[in-house]
Structure 1
Amino acid sequence: MKSFSYLSAPDVGTALRTIADSGDVKFLAGGTNLVDLMREGIEHPETLMDITRLPLTGIEELPDGTIRVGALVTNSRLAADPLIRTRYPVLAQAILLGASAQLRNMATVGGNLMQRTRCMYFYDEASACNKRAPGSGCDAIGGFSRGSAVLGASEHCIATHPSDMAVALVMLDAVVEAESVHGVRRIPVADFHRLPGDTPHIETVLAAAELITAIELPPVPAAAHSRYRKVRDRASYAFALVSVAAALEVADDGRIAEARLALGGVATKPWRARIAEELLLGAEATDENFARAAAAELAPALPRSGNAFKIDLAQRTVVAVLRTLNAERSAS
């Protein structure tokens, strides 16, 4: 591991001024991803700035019903919060399926959004990886691609985004609050992560001198009836092959009044299924219509030899989750 300097920020203003005036600085909170990357020689910042003392640990309801979550709230605390469990069960479920209890106790909301891919070629210094070494190539293309993306990929990168929490946040229209010495910026989570294009090493729209200070969850009545399903190779401590975050509202006449869908495990960023949502709106809540919408969403998929199964698996998982939500509505 390369030598680095260590600073502890006493307040947000100091943290922002320091990073604005310095060169290569990384913020350190739970460290559940960054420290691993440093040990592997993938990240080698000149300075680590410990931000764990900053007052960004609150969960509060704003006057308009929005829930504001501080960036240093741990994943465990967020998943256990009564407001989250009641209004956004999909988010609590996604977090609890995301990692071990030990990691959830350390990992923060802001850090979860900033975590990097778990692609094996990214972690292997002997392999070509445009995320790790821009311009070196992508050995995943033509290599072992079972875990790779089928949506949003490019000729430069097919790595999937690893977060479960972010998939739920995208479905909920959550917003990232980012702060710098120039002021506060609000970024929809759906726009926060970038598609790889020809610059896969630039993974978010966050500027180098910005700090995530909060996540805002807007009032989403449909989210009270939501679910997260994760399909993986083993029952725990594994990243998703396919995951689905969904919320469904069906009118008394059996037609869909609102459908929200996001996919994980299949794309290079948390994937909002806009095509499927549009097809579902106003349609009858039937398995046939669920399947039609899922197939349309996955129609642009570009599979590799090792991950073509993800297309059918994603479609069947979407149908299964929507069917479950519809059955729960009918039974209530």
Structure 2
Amino acid sequence: MQSQAKKPSIMVIPSDNWCQIEGFMTSYDNLGTVKNVPDYRKALQNSYDLNSVISKVGELMADRGFPLVDLERILKKIELDQARQSMKMSENSGASLSETPMDILKRVAKADIIINLSWKVNTTGPKKSISFNMQGLDAYTGKQVTAASGTGTPSFTADVVVLLEEAVISYLDKFNEGLMNHFEDLFENGREGALVIQVWDDSEVNLESEFELKGRTAELKRIIGSYWMPRNTLKGRFSQDESSAYIQKFSQVRIPLYGDDGWGGEMALDFNSWGVQLVDFLKNEFSIVSKIEPVGLGEVHLTIGNK
């Protein structure tokens, strides 16, 4: 049994707004649409203040027991141009699999919480102060779980790190309390995410094909929605948003933080490893070939008929 005293891992990144103001943006082609996104690598290479600020916030969080995931280290493991590669589209489902640079960053980092940070230095005569904004976002859903903002007391120092620490320190305990409340909710109610099931045009079966399970015959989409999902979600919590012969979508899917590793042990569970269990179920029960693909941390796409 995992201790609920465990704290969520965090990764500190500059906010989109800060990157936009400072000119650290880039663009990529997302299935024919040009998207502008923060260029974290360029920001880290060109802003001494950013490196110092991320280090200081990370230090303050680490001092309070939160495990850190280093942004610069993660960026070295991935290439943002992977987001320019779109996967094949099923003609029948009309769905596609692609990841944004942020999806890739989250998936590789595997942090529980992303801290979006922005700040501005204010000058009043010979004194300076910092106004800051911190948002704690669930890395799986992107939902805000805690936040803090404020302005520090004016000081004669020009050191951005000192000004930031003075501004942030009085807000940090309440900010961290919000993180822990969210993490306790994850232990109780599970991580939240989404599952999309698609059928490729070369598949011999679709979601309305009938199969026998436990002495009953039913369409595959009903077997998944009424049998597999309730038995493989925490407290049977999920919503079915769409269901047809070629696509089935589930949202607000709750899975436990830890699960069976396949050999009788326990492992940290994410949506990719959870989705593999459905791949195994389809193969073992019905000899259906399928493939799982993660989209960030909180969404998986399962495709039937092409592997």
Q: TM-score, normalised by structure 1?
A: 0.25
Q: TM-score, normalised by structure 2?
A: 0.26
Larger strand fraction of residues: 2
Structure exhibiting the larger radius of gyration computed from Cα positions? 2
